């Protein structure tokens, strides 16, 4: 035993106590200003005036609007939402494929040797990676908000916004997937004089096609959820209808639209799960053709869905690409530069960043509490009835997008960051509750059972036997959701829930493009910083 | 009477008969070793005594009470007086040794104390004292996934020593320890039971250890009691008969010296590996 260990072992006090106390104090010291900045005032929910507005609105939810004229509108908007998501993914794929091909290191001939033109290839590589970072670092809703000003209200802005952000995401993840597997076959083809595309088709795709397809389908599911809210900035679909209903305080219509949201999100969930299972089972070998008949059928169905989507939306891409419209796009883009970098504006944007962080942190914290409270019954600890009810409740919470929650909470507690906090908390509770419950069900039961057999109360057995097993997982989930919530908090302001989004929305509606540009750059930097921080944290935890 | 089992049988949900017609009792302060081939029902018998499994038929009384006739609260306080040393210590990976040991008294502590002790261990001296008796005093603040399998098994033992139960049940408590440490550890258990007048029932794989340290030996085979005798009266013939099917034709009985050990988690081996134990 070393001297230090002996000293430590003979200590009659807990050596970890000082560290714990310090983190507790530090946590409180950081939390307090966060609560102040996020304008955390739970009492606002229960103010008589607010309760009355909310109660009146919610009372109108029943019965949901079922007028024939409205249902026709609703049907059209639903189809439009699906078409926006599908067309957006198709364009994103078209954008991502060449970008992924060019940014995948293992497909670069110049890397071999290193061969001639390596320097140029590397410069191109870094340039393209930077382009990807910008594309996916700016949220799709911000692109949509900007595009609405160029292409007018309607689905075109939504489709293009999805294409850019999702194109950036797909390209990055495609490149990661391509580089994660066995890269020697691709290398061998390049060394045998094959081209980049040949190396991809014969060297990398056989090993990664399933994962690539599966991820694309998953992204389509995300795109459906994203296009549901696209309408809040005027880019078509269900969101636009919801926005109108909220502004008119039409509870009946709002409840019908919300129910449609739920159905649509759950259906997209189920369809995407089904497709991904099909992909997982496909390609088990023994066939003469490269893909089986099911694969061909699904591929044809996908292509048909894409074609129908473009026809249904009827976006005149030809008209968008005329010289005249290109010039107006150029003029519009130029009006954003140079960004406003005056100290006054920078300090306001800086406060916006801090407010965004505060909203996301407090919202996630509340969601952790809510998630734990609901995960306990949802894991089946209190019987089947409680489990089913808790699961239904969690599904409802997470099926409603954050932005929709924000329109409701803004009505309840007024515009401002606290509405954003509540919106994030509600949606994230649904997500975390489900994940927490899964972790509880997967935790080994022996430690808990042993304590119960030794006469411990159920609560004590949980604290000493189960909590230590699930706590690291819970923490990882919470941090991951916090990361996503920082991005989300940046755009919740579009419906008046504080943060950078509110600043951007305001400046854009005043045609202050230079100021808006600064905010967009701030969002981009925030996103990059969060990316880097989470990558660093993951490396340390691993 | 510390416990009394009368003609108890236990059939698992899958139809497997683990115990049949068991009648066994022990006076307070008695020390009993249970031996027998793997799969004979030793663990099931101990779980029956720990009120963790309910007999399918037959009567059971533990510390003077019938556990399955008690209301929830009283069953809990009865269980708090019974301590179980598990073969694979059921300790959370990331829990600290001190917390794992203190958890032994959760059945006696009120809830507020259990919660407070998670924030700051409330009885560091007590935990250290029991760990010191097992040569582990210096691992007090280590995490359970940072210590060896043998040390982890002794942490499980320390938890039960800290619990100070009236009925102590040990299921292969030294299976992950080397011979001399195994002997020393079993003596620590016996000394603790002796000092407090507690009853000790331990299942052991090493026949020589059981015969040397325990006054009363119960042999179990195929879910039935084969013999129940003072250690001095257990003959070589009886032992050969007990392990007959396991070591068909083999000369050696499982002892401290020839048993495969140093496996951190010797979980119920099952019939497949039975032959492997015989060499």
Which tens digits make up the pLDDT trace of B100-139? 999 999 999 999 999 999 989 999 999 999 999 999 988 8
Least confident of A3-7, A338-342, B117-121: A3-7
Is the four-CA dihedral B263, B264, B268, B270 of positive or negative sign? Answer: negative
How much is the ipTM here? 0.84
Q: Could you tell me which residue, B248 or B127, shows the higher pLDDT? A: B127
Q: Are A378 and A395 in contact (CB under 8 A)?
A: no
Peptide bond into B53 cis (omega under 30): no
* Chain A hits for B119, Cβ within 8 Å: 20
Mutate which: A21, A460, A466, A467, vs B, most B CBs within 10 A: A460
Q: What is the pLDDT of residue A292?
A: 67
Q: What is the pLDDT of residue A412?
A: 86
Q: How many angstroms away from the CA of B125 is the closest CA of chain A?
A: 7
Residues A366-376, mean pLDDT to the nearest whole number: 96
Q: What is the pLDDT of residue A242?
A: 87
pLDDT tier at A361, thresholds 50, 70, 90: very high
By 3-state DSSP, what share of chain A in percent is helix, strand and coil, each rounded to 5? 80, 0, 20
Count CB neighbours of A293 within 10 A. Answer: 9
Residue A380: which of A430, A440, A432 has the closest Cα?
A440
Count CB neighbours of A306 within 10 A. Answer: 17
Q: Above 80 in pLDDT, residue A263?
A: yes
Taking only the tens place, the pLDDT of each residue in B27-68 is 999 999 999 998 889 999 999 999 999 999 999 999 999 999
Q: Above 70 in pLDDT, residue B250?
A: no
> Residue B96: exposed, middle, or buried by beta-carbon count in 10 A (0-12, 13-18, 19+)?
buried
Give the contacts of A339 (CB within 8 A, at least 6 positions apart).
A514, A515, A517, A518, A521
Taking only the tens place, the pLDDT of each residue in A17-33 is 888 899 999 999 999 99
Range list of H helices, chain B: 42-49, 72-79, 97-102, 111-119, 124-133, 149-163, 179-196, 207-213, 236-242
Residue A367: which of A316, A432, A412, A323 has the closest Cα?
A432
Angle between helices A205-230 and A251-281 (to 10 degrees): 180
Q: Are A101 and A107 in contact (CB under 8 A)?
A: yes
Q: Are B3 and B49 in contact (CB under 8 A)?
A: yes
Helix (H) or strand (E) holding A426: helix A417-442
Chain A nearest-CA residue for B90:
A447
Q: What is the pLDDT of residue B271?
A: 40
Ranges A101-115, A209-223, A239-253, A418-432, most confident: A418-432
Would you give the DSSP letter of residue B254?
A: P
Domain residue spans of chain B: 3-81+166-278, 91-164
Q: In this complex, do A468 and B78 lie within 8 Å of one another by their Cβ atoms? A: no
Mutate which: A464, A466, A471, vs B, most B CBs within 10 A: A464
Which class in CATH covers the domain with range B3-81+166-278? Answer: alpha beta
Q: Above 50 in pLDDT, residue B270?
A: no
Q: Above 60 in pLDDT, residue B261?
A: no
Same domain for A381 and A237, yes or no, is no
CATH number, position A156: 1.10.3720.10
Q: What distance in Å separates the CA atoms of residue B140 and residue B162, rounded to the nearest whole number?
A: 14
Alpha-carbon dihedral A325, A92, A305, A176, rounded to 10 degrees? 170
Q: Are A190 and A109 in contact (CB under 8 A)?
A: yes
Q: What is the pLDDT of residue B278?
A: 41
Alpha-carbon dihedral A153, A158, A163, A164, rounded to 10 degrees? 70
For residue B174, CA distances in Å to B89, B165, B233 come to 11, 19, 25
Q: Above 60 in pLDDT, residue B259?
A: no
Residues A339-361, mean pLDDT to the nearest whole number: 93
Same domain for A330 and A373, yes or no, is no
Q: What is the pLDDT of residue A12?
A: 75
Query: What is the biggest distance separating any 2 CA atoms in chain B, rounded to whole angstroms?
Result: 59
Which residue in A12, A463, A469 is closest to B115 by CB distance? A463
Q: What is the pLDDT of residue A466?
A: 94
Q: In this complex, do B90 and A17 lie within 8 Å of one another by their Cβ atoms? A: no
Q: What is the pLDDT of residue B113?
A: 93
Q: Above 60 in pLDDT, residue A321?
A: yes
Q: In this complex, do B111 and A459 lie within 8 Å of one another by their Cβ atoms? A: yes
Q: What distance in Å separates the CA atoms of residue A417 and residue B180, rounded to the nearest whole number?
A: 67
Which residue in B90, B137, B138 is closest to A447 by CB distance? B90
Tokens for A165, please give them.
Answer: 């952000």
Q: Could you tell me which residue, B42 or A327, shows the higher pLDDT? A: B42
Q: What is the pLDDT of residue B267?
A: 40
Q: Could you tell me which residue, B147 or A316, shows the higher pLDDT? A: B147
Same domain for A299 and A358, yes or no, is no
Q: Report the domain count for chain A.
A: 2
pLDDT tier at A121, thresholds 50, 70, 90: confident
Residue A504: which of A242, A143, A134 has the closest Cα?
A143
Q: What distance in Å separates the CA atoms of residue A377 and residue A186, rounded to the nearest whole number?
A: 50
Residue B279: which of B255, B258, B256, B257 has the closest Cα?
B258
pLDDT tier at A290, thresholds 50, 70, 90: low
Same domain for A306 and A354, yes or no, is no
Q: Above 60 in pLDDT, residue A5?
A: no
Same domain for A145 and A202, yes or no, is yes
Q: In this complex, do B86 and A459 lie within 8 Å of one another by their Cβ atoms? A: no
pLDDT tier at A86, thresholds 50, 70, 90: very high
Q: What distance in Å separates the CA atoms of residue A251 and residue A272, rounded to the nearest whole number?
A: 31
Give the contacts of B50 (CB within 8 A, at least 6 positions apart).
A453, B79, B82, B84, B169
Q: What is the pLDDT of residue A152?
A: 81
* Chain A hits for B122, Cβ within 8 Å: none
Q: What is the pLDDT of residue B263?
A: 41
Q: What is the pLDDT of residue A456?
A: 92
Q: Are A461 and A519 in contact (CB under 8 A)?
A: no
The DSSP-derived string for B145-207 is GGS-HHHHHHHHHHHHHHH--SEEEEESTTTTS-HHHHHHHHHHHHHHHHHHT-EEEEE-S-H
Same domain for A463 and A501, yes or no, is yes
Tokens for B163, please give them.
Answer: 């619990």
Q: Above 70 in pLDDT, residue B191?
A: yes
Helix (H) or strand (E) holding A418: helix A417-442
- Label residues A428-440 b or e (16+ Cβ within 10 Å = b): bbbbbbbbbbbbb
Position A3 in a domain: no
pLDDT tier at A461, thresholds 50, 70, 90: very high
Ranges A51-60, A174-183, A338-347, A527-536, most confident: A338-347
Q: How many angstroms away from the CA of A542 is the closest CA of chain B?
A: 15
By percentage, how much of chain B surpasses pLDDT 90? 70
Q: Could you tell me which residue, B259 or A348, shows the higher pLDDT? A: A348
Residues A186-197, mean pLDDT to the nearest whole number: 85
Q: Are A349 and A521 in contact (CB under 8 A)?
A: no
Strand partners, A465: none
Q: Above 50 in pLDDT, residue A60?
A: yes
Same domain for A352 and A314, yes or no, is no
Q: In this complex, do B106 and A13 lie within 8 Å of one another by their Cβ atoms? A: no
Taking only the tens place, the pLDDT of each residue in A468-503 is 999 989 998 998 899 889 989 998 998 888 889 999
Q: What is the pLDDT of residue A540?
A: 77
Q: What is the pLDDT of residue B272?
A: 38
Q: What distance in Å separates the CA atoms of residue A141 and residue A133, rounded to the nearest whole number?
A: 16
Mean of pLDDT over chain B: 87
Q: In this complex, do B80 and A454 lie within 8 Å of one another by their Cβ atoms? A: yes
Chain B nearest-CA residue for A13:
B124
Helix (H) or strand (E) holding B25: strand B17-26
Tokens for B264, please give them.
Answer: 């951190």
Q: How many angstroms away from the CA of A59 is the closest CA of chain B?
A: 43
Domain of A425, in residue numbers: 30-55+337-541
Task: Collapse the DSSP code of B83 into the 3-class scheme (helix H, G, I; strand E, B; otherwise coil) and give the result.
Answer: strand
Same domain for A301 and A185, yes or no, is yes
| Sole residue written with tokens 């089947």 | A384
* Chain A hits for B140, Cβ within 8 Å: 9
Mean of pLDDT over chain A: 87
Q: Are A218 and A272 in contact (CB under 8 A)?
A: yes
Q: In this complex, do A472 and B107 lie within 8 Å of one another by their Cβ atoms? A: no
Task: Collapse the DSSP code of A104 into the 3-class scheme (helix H, G, I; strand E, B; otherwise coil) and give the result.
Answer: coil
Count CB neighbours of A493 within 10 A. Answer: 28
Q: What distance in Å separates the CA atoms of residue B214 and residue B206, rounded to the nearest whole number?
A: 12
| Sole residue written with tokens 């949980």 | A462
Q: Are B234 and B217 in contact (CB under 8 A)?
A: yes
Same domain for A36 and A135, yes or no, is no
Chain B nearest-CA residue for A467:
B92
Q: Above 50 in pLDDT, residue A72?
A: yes
Q: What is the pLDDT of residue A387?
A: 93
For residue B157, CA distances in Å to A14, B88, B91, B99, B105 come to 22, 11, 11, 14, 13
For residue A508, CA distances in Å to A396, A500, A514, A537, B209 come to 33, 12, 9, 35, 84
Is the four-CA dihedral B174, B175, B178, B179 of positive or negative sign? Answer: positive
Size of interface A-B (CB pairs under 8 A): 103
Is the four-CA dihedral A145, A151, A155, A157 of positive or negative sign? Answer: negative
Q: What is the pLDDT of residue B268?
A: 40
Least confident of A68-82, A263-277, A495-509, B176-190: A263-277
Q: Could you tell me which residue, B156 or A150, shows the higher pLDDT? A: B156
Is the four-CA dihedral A491, A57, A243, A432 of positive or negative sign? Answer: positive
Q: In this complex, do B76 and A457 lie within 8 Å of one another by their Cβ atoms? A: yes
Position A24 in a domain: no
Q: Are A92 and A163 in contact (CB under 8 A)?
A: yes
Q: How many angstroms away from the CA of B115 is the closest CA of chain A?
A: 8
Same domain for A260 and A361, yes or no, is no
Q: In this complex, do B90 and A20 lie within 8 Å of one another by their Cβ atoms? A: no
Q: What is the pLDDT of residue A350?
A: 94
Same domain for A452 and A411, yes or no, is yes
Q: Are B41 and B16 in contact (CB under 8 A)?
A: no
Tokens for B110, please give them.
Answer: 């009120």
Q: What is the pLDDT of residue B248?
A: 54
Q: In this complex, do A455 and B77 lie within 8 Å of one another by their Cβ atoms? A: yes
Q: How many angstroms away from the CA of B164 is the closest CA of chain A?
A: 11
Same domain for A264 and A349, yes or no, is no
Residue A408: which of A496, A505, A500 has the closest Cα?
A496
The residues of B whose Cβ lies within 8 A of any Cβ of A are 50-52, 76-84, 86, 88, 90-96, 98-99, 103-104, 106-109, 111, 114-115, 118-121, 124-125, 128, 137-138, 140-141, 163, 165
């Amino acid at each position: 035993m070393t001297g230090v260990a002996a000293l430590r072992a003979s200590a009659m006090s807990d050596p970890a106590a000082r560290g714990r106390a310090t983190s507790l104090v530090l946590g409180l010291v950081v939390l307090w200003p966060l609560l102040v900045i996020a304008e955390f005032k739970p009492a606002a929910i229960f103010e008589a005036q607010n309760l009355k507005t909310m109660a009146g609105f919610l009372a109108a939810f029943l019965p949901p609007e079922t007028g024939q004229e409205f249902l026709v509108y609703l049907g059209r908007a639903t189809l439009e939402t699906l078409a926006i998501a599908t067309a957006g993914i198709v364009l994103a794929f078209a954008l991502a494929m060449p970008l992924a091909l060019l940014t995948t290191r293992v497909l670069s001939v110049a890397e071999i040797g290193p061969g001639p033109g390596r320097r140029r290839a590397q410069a191109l590589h870094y340039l393209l990676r930077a382009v990807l970072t910008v594309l996916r670092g700016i949220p799709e809703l911000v692109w949509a908000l900007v595009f609405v000003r160029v292409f007018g209200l309607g689905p075109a802005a939504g489709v293009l916004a999805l294409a850019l952000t999702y194109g950036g995401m797909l390209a990055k993840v495609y490149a990661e997937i391509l580089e994660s597997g066995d890269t020697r076959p691709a290398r061998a083809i390049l060394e045998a004089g094959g081209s980049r595309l040949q190396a991809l088709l014969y060297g990398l795709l056989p090993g990664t096609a399933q994962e690539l397809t599966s991820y694309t389908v998953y992204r389509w599911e995300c795109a459906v959820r994203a296009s549901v809210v696209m309408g809040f900035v005027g880019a078509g679909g269900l969101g636009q209808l919801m926005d109108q209903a909220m502004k008119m305080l039409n509870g009946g219509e709002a409840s019908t639209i919300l129910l449609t949201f739920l159905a649509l999100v759950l259906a997209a969930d189920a369809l995407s799960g089904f497709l991904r299972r099909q992909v997982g089972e496909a390609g088990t070998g023994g066939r003469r053709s490269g893909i089986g008949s099911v694969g061909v059928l699904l591929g044809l169905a996908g292509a048909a869905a894409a074609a129908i989507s473009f026809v249904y939306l009827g976006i005149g891409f030809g008209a968008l690409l005329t010289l005249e419209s290109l010039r107006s796009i150029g003029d519009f883009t130029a009006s954003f530069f140079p960004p406003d970098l005056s100290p006054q504006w920078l300090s306001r944007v800086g406060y916006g960043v801090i407010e965004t962080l505060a909203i996301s942190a407090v919202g996630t914290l509340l969601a952790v509490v809510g998630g734990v409270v609901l995960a306990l019954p949802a894991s089946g600890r209190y019987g089947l009835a409680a489990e089913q009810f808790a699961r239904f409740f969690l599904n409802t919470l997470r099926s409603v997008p954050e932005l929709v929650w924000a329109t409701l909470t803004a009505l309840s507690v007024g515009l401002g960051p606290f509405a954003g906090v509540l919106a994030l908390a509600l949606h994230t509770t649904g997500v975390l509750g489900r994940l927490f419950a899964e972790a509880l069900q997967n935790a080994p039961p022996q430690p808990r059972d042993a304590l119960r057999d030794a006469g411990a109360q159920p609560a004590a057995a949980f604290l000493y036997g189960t909590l230590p097993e699930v706590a690291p997982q819970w923490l990882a989930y919470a941090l991951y959701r916090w990361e996503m919530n920082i991005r989300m908090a940046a755009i919740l302001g579009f419906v008046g829930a504080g943060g950078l989004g509110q600043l951007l929305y305001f400046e854009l509606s005043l045609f202050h493009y230079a100021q808006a540009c600064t905010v967009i750059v701030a969002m981009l930097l925030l996103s990059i910083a969060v990316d880097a921080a989470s990558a660093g944290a993951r490396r340390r935890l691993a | 009477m510390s416990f009394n089992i009368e003609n108890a049988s236990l059939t698992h949900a899958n139809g497997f008969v683990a115990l049949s017609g068991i009648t066994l009792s022990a006076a307070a302060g008695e020390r009993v070793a249970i031996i027998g081939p793997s799969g004979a029902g030793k663990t099931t018998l101990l779980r029956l005594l720990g009120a963790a499994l309910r007999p399918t038929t037959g009567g059971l009384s533990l510390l003077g009470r019938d556990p399955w006739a008690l209301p929830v609260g009283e069953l809990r306080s009865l269980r708090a007086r019974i301590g179980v040393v598990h073969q694979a210590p059921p300790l959370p990976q990331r829990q600290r040794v001190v917390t794992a040991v203190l958890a032994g008294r959760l059945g006696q502590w009120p809830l507020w104390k259990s919660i407070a002790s998670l924030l700051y261990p409330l009885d560091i001296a007590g935990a250290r004292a029991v760990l010191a008796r097992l040569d582990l005093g210096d691992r007090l603040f280590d995490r359970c996934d940072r210590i060896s399998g043998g040390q982890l098994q002794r942490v499980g033992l320390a938890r039960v020593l800290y619990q100070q139960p009236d009925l102590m049940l040990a299921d292969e408590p030294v299976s992950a320890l080397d011979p001399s440490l195994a002997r020393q550890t079993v003596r620590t258990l016996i000394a603790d039971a002796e000092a407090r007048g507690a009853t000790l029932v331990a299942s052991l794989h090493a026949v020589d250890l059981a015969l040397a340290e325990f006054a009363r030996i119960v042999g179990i085979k195929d879910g039935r009691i084969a013999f129940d005798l003072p250690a001095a009266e257990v003959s070589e013939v009886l032992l050969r008969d007990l392990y007959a099917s396991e070591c068909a034709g083999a000369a050696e009985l499982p002892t401290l010296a020839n048993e495969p050990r140093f496996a951190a988690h010797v979980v119920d081996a099952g019939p497949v590996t039975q032959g492997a134990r015989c060499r």
